[in-house]
Amino acid sequence: MYMKKSKSDLTFIDLFAGIGGLRKAFEPYGKCVFSSELNEYSKKTYCQNFPGSLVSGDITKINAKEIPDHDILLAGFPCQPFSLAGVSSRKSLGKKHGFKDRTQGTLFFDICRILEEKKPKAFLLENVKNLKTHDKKKTFKVIIDALEELGYYVIVDVIDAGKVVPQHRERIFIVGFREPLDFEFPELTDTKPQLKKILEKKVDKKYTLLDGTWNALKRHKTRHGEKGNGFGYNMADKNGVSKTLSARYCKDGAEILIDQKNKNPRRLTPRECARLMGFPDKFEIPVSDTQAYRQFGNAVVVPVVSEIAKAMVKCMRKGKHRIMITDYAK
């Protein structure tokens, strides 16, 4: 049975932590007892915003036994293909190959080995929407099979953040519990977000595209338009939601350009990118613009994860079991 804990009693770990979006969403419900992130620039931003954090590096080199016990595992892990080449001998012997065989050599394997060793009550994993179809759907099947093999009841949903932030951003969320709890993903309230509400009033001219860059983008769009496809830059609708912010935004900002009167368009500022991802203005950005664009492009939308965290914690404290579990992921 799940123990009913007070608001601050739950503990969690933050793997592939990035700049701490998952942690920020879960902090109202407990304490982070372990963090891991390989990128030094991301670690700098993480530590600046979560003072006193000791962020471990390469998760593949960390012994799972040394990770503190915890209630919830959080991870936004990289998407990698799974190779079955290494299990051919076991298969020929008629032995079923388990998750260790199927996931070896991927970063998802490190999530599995920690789940196996520490057995937290729950987990939340986040990834791009295309995870479900990656490698002809083989990747997703291996992931779900491995998590269920480890004894978890798994629930999956794809959520678009466009109801809570002015950005169309679909991400897949995978939630697991060691007991078949009566969990449902939250239905986001449509706040009718508008891009113009997160734009800064005074913007440095360095964010305005230079003539060379702007002309190159126009030529690129024209070429693709002549071929009948829609590739090219995108002038954002200030009264609506933007396209998805990606880590490549640092290149030219083409996917989200802001129109300016009597000027070339501009790219978003790092602060505007932070707002687009739902980070509060008090969230500090101690790195260069290039690194900031990459970090926010790889981050989670905090308000979305906050709603999931709230639903997970409520479900765990309530401890109510499902009667039917046929709608769990397969």
pLDDT per residue over 191-206, tens digit each?
A: 999 999 999 999 999 9
Higher pLDDT, 96 or 32: 32
Higher pLDDT, 107 or 147: 147
Reported as a pLDDT band with limits 50, 70 and 90, residue 134 is confident
pLDDT tens digit sequence for 233-282: 899 999 999 999 999 998 889 999 999 999 999 999 999 999 999 999 99
pLDDT > 90 in the chain, percent:
73
Other Cβ atoms within 10 Å of 9 Cβ, number: 13
Cβ-contact 124, 175 below 8 angstroms: yes
Reported as a pLDDT band with limits 50, 70 and 90, residue 325 is very low
φ and ψ at residue 157, rounded to 5 degrees: -150, 150
**What fold does the segment set 10-189+301-318 form as a domain?**
Rossmann fold (3.40.50)
Domain limits, the chain? 10-189+301-318, 195-297
pLDDT > 70 in the chain, percent:
85
Q: Two tokens at 60?
A: 């593949």
- CATH for 195-297, among 3.30.230.70, 3.90.120.10, 3.40.50.620, 3.90.420.10? 3.90.120.10
Mean pLDDT within 222-235: 77
Question: CA dist 287 to 45, 121, 290, Å?
Answer: 7, 36, 8
Reported as a pLDDT band with limits 50, 70 and 90, residue 160 is very high
Task: Look at residue 174 and tell me whether its pLDDT is greater than 90.
Answer: yes
Reported as a pLDDT band with limits 50, 70 and 90, residue 9 is confident
Other Cβ atoms within 10 Å of 205 Cβ, number: 7
pLDDT tens digit sequence for 84-101: 433 333 444 444 444 555
pLDDT tens digit sequence for 210-223: 999 999 999 988 88
Higher pLDDT, 155 or 103: 155
Q: Give catalytic residue positions.
A: 79
Q: What is the mean pLDDT of the chain?
A: 88
DSSP strand E in 10-119: where? 10-15, 30-36, 55-56, 72-75
38-47, 150-159, 311-320: which has the minimum mean pLDDT?
A: 311-320
Higher pLDDT, 96 or 166: 166
Task: Look at residue 102 and tell me whether its pLDDT is greater than 70.
Answer: no
pLDDT tens digit sequence for 274-309: 999 999 999 999 999 999 999 999 999 999 999 999
- Helix-then-strand count for the chain, H and E: 11, 9
Reported as a pLDDT band with limits 50, 70 and 90, residue 78 is confident
Cβ-contact 30, 8 below 8 angstroms: yes
